Structure 1
Amino acid sequence: MLTSDDLVFFDVVSSSSSLADAARKLNVTPPAITQRLKALERRVGVRLMDRTTRGLALTDEGELLVAEGAAIIEAIEGLAESLGRRTTRVRGRLRVAAPYGFGRDHVAPVAAEFARRHPEATVTLELSDHPNVLTSDSWDIVIHIGALNSAERLVTTLAPNGRVACASPAYLEGHPPIESPEDLRHHRCLALRENDEDVTLWRFSHPKHGATTVRIKPAMSTNDGTILRAWGIAGLGIIVRSEWDVAGDLAAGRLARILPGWACPAADVVALLNARHGRSRRATVFLEMMRDALTPLPWRQPDQR
């Protein structure tokens, strides 16, 4: 006989890249995951999952269990949510995903406060910059900076966030002045490669001159925003970073904005909601807390808000 705990367990395992990954999510050892999976397969009488050189692969029976199990879990959680609305308590599982940098600085403190206020709720916070993780159906809420293609999720904006082209004062003192985006072709530009975007095509707009693009040849590139910011501060070249990430460096003089009359495309802070759980009380409360934490914007000076 299957239990709801079995369905939740297999849902976590099926959405993990490996048994070790599943063990980390469930806070148990990998051997414990293996033993429980084998016990589950013995009880249902079929093999549910195969190990391949690429990771874990569901059998046809495993795919069926995931699909049917998700519907059962949804029904159970929906019933619990309906009953929970009769009280003011926030209960149940809340699964949140966010990018590394913003997640550490702004989402993790809210998750901690949420758990403190609502001890009957459990919170899982996964930090990743990989689009496949952030678009997975495993999460109730995905916090993201800028647009993220996910047609099956509802999107709500949490806070405005601009993007800034900047460099260290030391770099700017030692190189020719930058008066227009075209001048960037003759400078060291540093690129962030974190998804499938064309990171070598930088876009700018001006109230009088309209929109323009510049094809850069990155002198250096990385998939880590913290590293890119450090390179910029070290004087290795020009970077384009989110306002939330470099506001402190601009205020302290570690970085200086270039092309002040030109604007980079904005990358607002958004929340993508799982269609099944987007209206749950726990998700609603968490989003309210996120908005409160971002109001007023912590990365803007009082005269900029």
Structure 2
Amino acid sequence: MISSDDLAFFSVLAKSASLAESARKLDVTPPAVTQRLRALEARIGIRLIDRSGRKMSLTDEGALVASHGTIVAEAMEALSEALADRKKAVGGHLRIAAPHGFGRVHVAPVVDAFAKAHPRVTVTLDLSDHPGAQLVESSDVIIHIGPPGPMNQIVTTLAPNRRILCASPDYLAKAAPVQSPEDLMQHRCLVVRENDEDVTLWRFLHPSREASTVRIHPAMCSNDGAVIREWAIAGHGVAIRSEWNIAADLAARRLKRVLPSWEVPPADVVAMLGTRFGRSARTTAFLAMLRQSLAPPPWRRKKVK
């Protein structure tokens, strides 16, 4: 007979590279881990782990036990969350994914306040270059800037966010005038490369003219939006950046809007909700706090002098 405690113990072993690593995670000595493993194997009469030197690997039976342990752990967590939701208790583990820059500036402070307001919740904030639909299965909330994921994905808009064509005043003073989107083909353009998107095809909208699409030839590119912003401020060329990212630079005249009568398609800040166990009380509470922090959007608030 294998108990739930056995499954939890073996799950740690299955996710570790060695018994020593397992011991560190369990906060016990390596001999204690070895003794418990041997007792478990003796009780069920099956070898679960092959140990050779410092390395270990799961036997076929060990992999089966580990997979069932994951199923049981998720079922127990789902039951706990369902019971907590019945009494509207905010507890459990909240998994959040967000972009690096936006996550540091606008999400992390809310996580800080949320953790203080709800001490029964533990939180993991995973910052990555491009969090998206691929994290839905492992996250409760995915903060995303731009078009949402698949049509069947649950999405809620958190804040509006324009995308702005911009360059430094120094660059614009020295370069040829930019009077139409087509003029950009003769300029140095700075590009953020994201996923598999065609980032060299820039689209522009005008209230009284037909939309314009321009194929630019990047002079410099990076997978980090913060780097592109810094290059634009340094006068290396023209870039498209999110309003949340450069509002302060525009106000301080470190950057200047280019082609102000043309609009770039917006990239609103949205939350994609994970499918792990449905909408939990902690997810609802966190989204409410995050939405409140973004209303009105900080990048559109006038600063009082």
* Same-fold status (TM-score > 0.5): yes
Q: Structure 2 vs 1, CA of residues 289 and 6 (structure 1 numbering), >3 Å: closer, same or farther? A: farther
Alpha-carbon separation, structure 2, partners of 1:58 and 1:206: 61
Alpha-carbon separation, structure 2, partners of 1:178 and 1:245: 23
The 5 A counterparts of 1:61-80 are: 68-80=68-80
Alpha-carbon separation, structure 2, partners of 1:236 and 1:179: 19
* Contact 1:96/1:124, CA 8 A, preserved across alignment: yes
**In the alignment, what sits opposite 1:83?**
83
Post-superposition shift, 1:73?
A: 3.2
Indicate which of 5, 26, 32 corresponds to 2:24. Answer: 32
Post-superposition shift, 1:275?
A: 1.5
Higher mean C-alpha displacement, 150-159 vs 267-276:
150-159
**In the alignment, what sits opposite 1:53?**
none
**In the alignment, what sits opposite 1:176?**
176
Q: Structure 2 vs 1, CA of residues 281 and 8 (structure 1 numbering), >3 Å: closer, same or farther? A: farther
- Is the radius of gyration larger for structure 1 or structure 2? 2
Alpha-carbon separation, structure 1, partners of 2:77 and 2:104: 29
Alpha-carbon separation, structure 1, partners of 2:242 and 2:14: 34
Post-superposition shift, 1:152?
A: 6.5
Q: Secondary structure at the match of 1:253?
A: coil
Q: Percent identity?
A: 51
Unmatched segments (≥5 aa) in structure 2: 42-46, 51-56
Q: Secondary structure at the match of 2:218?
A: coil
**In the alignment, what sits opposite 1:263?**
263
Post-superposition shift, 1:6?
A: 4.9
* Contact 2:98/2:131, CA 8 A, preserved across alignment: no
Unmatched segments (≥5 aa) in structure 1: 21-27, 49-56
Post-superposition shift, 1:153?
A: 3.8
Alpha-carbon separation, structure 1, partners of 2:13 and 2:107: 22
Deviation string 1:128-185 (CA, Å, 9 cap, x unpaired) is 0145795252111111111253566421111111111100000000011111100000
How many residues in Structure 1 have an aligned counterpart in Structure 2?
A: 284
**In the alignment, what sits opposite 2:246?**
246
Q: Secondary structure at the match of 1:156?
A: strand
AA of the residue aligned to 1:229: R
**In the alignment, what sits opposite 1:46?**
48
Q: Secondary structure at the match of 1:210?
A: coil
Q: Secondary structure at the match of 2:126?
A: strand
Alpha-carbon separation, structure 2, partners of 1:285 and 1:277: 16
**In the alignment, what sits opposite 1:3?**
4
Q: Secondary structure at the match of 2:111?
A: helix
AA of the residue aligned to 1:266: P
**In the alignment, what sits opposite 1:196?**
196
Deviation string 1:18-57 (CA, Å, 9 cap, x unpaired) is 969xxxxxxx968735979x86986474359xxxxxxxx9
* Contact 2:250/2:257, CA 8 A, preserved across alignment: yes
**Is 2:141 the partner of 1:141?**
yes
Alpha-carbon separation, structure 2, partners of 1:138 and 1:203: 33
